C-alpha cells in the first residue's frame, strides 16, 4: 500500500516515456544524474590530486606503465616531465620505452608519449623511434597514434632518426595518403624533412599519380608535394600530372590538382598542360568538373594556345550545342571575355544568330548581355559614319528626313543674347526625344503662339528672344536693364521673392514666373504659371 497516495510517477507529476510529451516533472531524474556525474568527476579529480600531491616518482617505480593508461596518472606524469628533472625523465623513460607502440595508440598514453618526446634527449629519442619502427604504419593509421607519431617526426634531429622514419614508412606511402589519419603523417614528413629526404614520397606519388590525385585526401597531399619539391622534383611531378591530365580533370578531386598547377602561373607548366586538352575541348566542356579546368585554361594560356582552344568551340555546329549545355555555356562565356581580337569577332558573329533560342534561360541572358556590351564597345571605337554590328535602322519621328535635321543651326544675328532658329525647313512637329523638342508639343498644335518657332504671339516675330515683346532680352521685363530690385544678379523679383538658381518644384508662390506673369504676351501664359508639375 502506498501510504502517501502517489499513483505512479513522482509526487503526482507524470514522467514522460520515450517520445512522450514534456509535462511537469519531466526530465527531473536525468538532470539529477548529470549533476551527480559532474560532481563525481570533480571529486575524483580532487582525490587524484590529493593522492599524487605528496607522491615521489621513485615510489611509483614499477607502476608507471599502468599510470600512463590512467587519466589522472597520465596527467601526474606529464606534470613531472614539465619539471625537466633529468632523473625523473630517465625513470619514466625506462618504464615507457618497451611499451611505446601500445602507449602511442592509447587514448591517454599518447599524451604522455608526446610529452616524453619533447623532454628526452637525442639518444633517448632514437631508442623510442627504433622501438616504434615495427608498427609505425599501424600507429599512423590510429586516431590517437597519428598525433604521437607526428610529434615524433616533428622532434627528429639526427640523420639516424630521419633514416629510421623513412625506412619505416617507405612502402606504405600510398596507403597512408588515402587514410584519414595517415595523410597527416605524410604531410608532417613533407613539412619537416628536406626535399632530398622526402624523395621517397615524391617517387610513390609520381608512380601512382591518378590513384593519389583522384582521392579525397590524396589530391591535397599531391598539391603539398608540388609545393615542397625542388626544381627537378617539381618538374617530374608536374610531368606526371600532365600525362594523366585527361583522367584527372574529369574527377571531382583530380580537377583541383590540375587547376593548382595552372594557378602556379609558370608558362613551362601551363602551356604543355593546356595543349594536352587539344581535340578534346568540346568533350571536356560538357562535363561538370572538367569544364572548370577548360575555363581556367582559356584564362591562363598564352595567346597562341588560347586561340587553338577557342577555335574548337567556334565551329557553329558545336557552338550551338555548347550554348545549350548547362556546363559548356560557361566555357563559351569565358571565351567571349578572353578571346583575342582576331578570334572574338568570329565568335560573336557565330553566337548572335543563336541568342533568340536561349534568351529565356538564365545563362542565355548573361550571354546576351555580354554580346550587347561587346557591340557597344565596337560602336564606341568605330569611326564616325561606320556601320557597327549593333546598328539598326530607325525611322525619325513624324517622318522627318534625318539628313535635314543635321542642317539645323543656331545663329545670333542680333548679338550674343539674341539667338534665331534657322533651318532649311520648318521644325517638325512632335517630340524628337526625351530630352527636348524639335517642334512644339502636340498638345499645343492648334495654338498660334508656338507657330513657326515663336514663343508668343507677336513676341518673337523674327525669332528674337524678347519675353515681353518690347525688344531684346530684358531681365526686369520693363527696360532691359539689370535692376538690384528685380533683376537676376541677386535673384530678386519686384515683389521681393527670392528665386532659387537651382531647379525647384514650381508653384505660384515660388516660381520665377509668378511675380510678372503678365509680362508674357502669350495667351497661354496670360495670368497663370505654366504646369511644370508634369515633369
Q: What is the 3-state secondary structure (H, E, C) of 328-369?
A: HHHHHHHHHHHCCCCCHHHHHHHHHHHHHHHCCCHHHHHHHH
**Between 56 and 319, residue with greater pLDDT:** 319
Place of cell 589522472: 72
Q: Are residues 295 and 256 both part of a single domain?
A: no
> How many structural domains is the chain composed of?
3
pLDDT band at 485 (very low <50, low <70, confident <90, very high): very low
Q: Are residues 178 and 105 in the same domain?
A: yes
pLDDT (average), residues 383-395: 50
Asked whether residue 206 is assigned to any structural domain, the reply reads yes
Full residue range of the structural domain in which residue 125 is found: 42-193
Least confident among 54-58, 116-120, 224-228: 54-58
Q: Are 74 and 164 within one domain? A: yes
Q: What is the pLDDT of residue 361?
A: 83
Pair 143, 212 in one domain: no
* Judgement on whether residues 145 and 112 belong to the same structural domain of the protein: yes
Q: Are residues 330 and 350 in the same domain?
A: yes
Q: Are 126 and 178 in a shared domain?
A: yes
Residue 12 lies in a domain: no
pLDDT of residue 333: 95
- For residues 298 and 219, membership in a common domain is answered with no
Q: Which residue, 164, 193, 222, sits at the end of a domain?
A: 193
pLDDT at residue 11, rounded to an integer: 44
- Given a cut of 50, whether residue 490 has pLDDT beyond it is no
Q: Which residue, 351, 377, 403, sits at the end of a domain? A: 377
Average the pLDDT over 490-506 and give the result.
Answer: 41
Stretch 63-91: mean pLDDT = 92
| Residues 404 and 424: beta-carbon distance below 8 Å | yes
Which residues neighbour 26 within 8 Å (Cβ) at sequence distance 6 or greater?
13, 14, 15, 16
| Residue 258 CB burial class (10 angstroms; 0-12, 13-18, ≥19) | buried
Instruction: Determine, yes or no, domain membership for 239.
Output: yes
> Are residues 108 and 167 both part of a single domain?
yes
Residues 257 and 296 in one domain: no
Same-domain pairing of 223 and 354: no
User: Band of the pLDDT at 55, cuts 50, 70, 90?
Assistant: confident
- Residue after which a domain boundary falls, among 314, 343, 377: 377
pLDDT band at 31; cut points 50, 70, 90: low
**pLDDT, position 336:** 95
Quick one: pLDDT at residue 496?
Answer: 42
Q: 175 with 204, same domain?
A: no
Residue 134 domain flag: yes
| pLDDT for position 44 | 74
The answer to whether position 397 is within a domain reads no
Give the C-alpha separation, 319 to 358, whole Å.
Answer: 12
**Mean of all residue pLDDT scores within the chain:** 76
In-domain check, residue 75: yes
Residue 147: predicted pLDDT = 97
* 459 in any annotated domain: no
Cα three-residue angle 232-235-236, rounded to 5 degrees? 90
Amino acid at each position: 500500500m502506498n501510504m502517501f497516495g502517489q499513483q505512479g510517477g513522482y509526487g503526482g507529476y507524470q514522467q514522460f516515456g520515450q517520445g512522450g510529451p514534456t509535462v511537469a516533472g519531466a526530465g527531473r531524474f536525468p538532470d539529477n544524474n548529470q549533476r551527480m556525474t559532474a560532481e563525481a568527476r570533480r571529486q575524483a579529480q580532487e582525490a587524484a590530486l590529493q593522492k599524487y600531491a605528496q607522491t615521489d616518482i621513485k615510489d611509483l617505480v614499477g607502476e608507471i606503465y599502468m599510470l600512463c593508461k590512467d587519466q589522472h596518472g597520465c596527467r601526474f606524469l606529464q606534470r613531472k616531465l614539465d619539471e625537466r628533472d633529468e632523473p625523473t625523465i630517465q625513470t619514466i623513460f625506462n618504464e615507457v620505452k618497451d611499451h611505446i607502440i601500445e602507449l602511442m595508440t592509447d587514448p591517454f598514453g599518447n599524451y604522455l608519449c608526446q610529452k616524453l618526446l619533447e623532454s628526452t634527449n637525442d639518444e633517448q629519442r632514437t631508442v623510442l623511434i627504433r622501438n616504434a619502427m615495427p608498427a609505425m604504419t599501424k600507429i599512423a593509421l590510429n586516431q590517437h597514434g597519428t598525433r604521437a607519431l607526428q610529434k615524433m617526426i616533428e622532434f627528429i634531429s639526427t640523420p639516424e632518426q630521419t633514416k629510421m622514419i623513412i625506412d619505416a614508412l617507405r612502402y606504405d606511402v600510398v596507403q597512408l595518403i588515402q587514410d584519414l589519419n595517415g595523410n597527416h603523417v605524410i604531410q608532417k614528413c613533407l613539412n619537416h624533412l628536406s626535399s632530398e629526404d622526402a624523395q621517397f614520397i615524391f617517387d610513390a606519388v609520381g608512380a601512382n599519380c591518378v590513384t593519389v590525385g583522384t582521392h579525397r585526401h590524396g589530391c591535397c597531399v599531391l598539391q603539398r608535394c608540388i609545393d615542397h619539391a625542388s626544381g627537378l622534383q617539381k618538374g617530374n611531378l608536374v610531368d606526371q600530372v600532365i600525362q594523366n591530365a585527361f583522367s584527372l580533370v574529369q574527377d571531382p578531386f583530380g580537377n583541383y590538382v590540375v587547376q593548382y598547377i595552372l594557378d602556379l602561373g609558370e608558362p613551362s607548366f601551363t602551356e604543355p598542360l593546356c595543349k594536352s586538352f587539344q581535340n578534346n575541348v568540346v568533350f571536356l566542356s560538357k562535363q561538370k568538373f572538367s569544364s572548370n579546368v577548360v575555363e581556367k585554361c582559356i584564362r591562363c594560356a598564352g595567346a597562341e594556345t588560347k586561340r587553338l582552344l577557342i577555335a574548337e568551340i567556334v565551329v557553329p555546329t558545336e557552338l550551338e550545342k555548347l550554348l545549350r549545355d548547362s556546363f559548356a555555356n560557361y566555357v563559351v562565356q569565358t571565351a567571349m571575355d578572353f578571346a583575342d581580337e582576331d578570334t572574338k569577332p568570329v565568335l560573336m558573329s557565330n553566337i548572335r544568330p543563336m541568342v533568340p533560342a536561349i534568351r529565356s534561360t538564365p545563362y542565355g541572358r548573361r550571354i546576351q548581355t555580354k554580346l550587347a556590351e561587346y557591340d557597344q564597345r565596337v560602336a564606341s571605337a568605330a569611326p564616325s559614319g561606320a556601320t557597327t554590328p549593333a546598328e539598326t535602322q530607325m525611322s525619325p519621328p513624324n517622318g522627318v528626313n534625318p539628313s535635314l535635321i543635321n542642317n539645323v543651326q543656331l545663329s545670333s544675328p542680333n548679338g550674343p543674347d539674341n539667338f534665331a532658329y534657322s533651318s532649311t525647313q520648318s521644325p517638325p512637329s512632335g517630340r524628337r526625344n526625351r530630352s527636348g523638342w524639335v517642334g512644339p508639343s502636340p498638345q499645343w498644335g492648334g495654338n498660334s503662339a508656338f507657330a513657326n518657332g515663336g514663343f508668343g504671339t507677336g513676341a518673337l516675330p523674327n525669332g528674337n528672344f524678347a519675353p515681353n515683346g518690347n525688344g531684346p532680352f530684358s531681365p526686369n521685363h520693363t527696360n532691359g536693364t539689370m535692376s538690384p530690385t528685380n533683376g537676376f544678379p541677386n535673384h530678386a523679383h519686384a515683389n521681393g521673392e527670392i528665386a532659387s538658381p537651382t531647379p525647384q518644384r514650381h508653384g505660384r508662390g515660388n516660381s520665377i514666373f509668378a511675380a510678372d506673369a503678365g509680362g508674357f504676351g502669350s495667351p497661354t501664359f496670360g495670368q497663370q504659371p505654366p504646369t511644370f508639375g508634369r515633369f
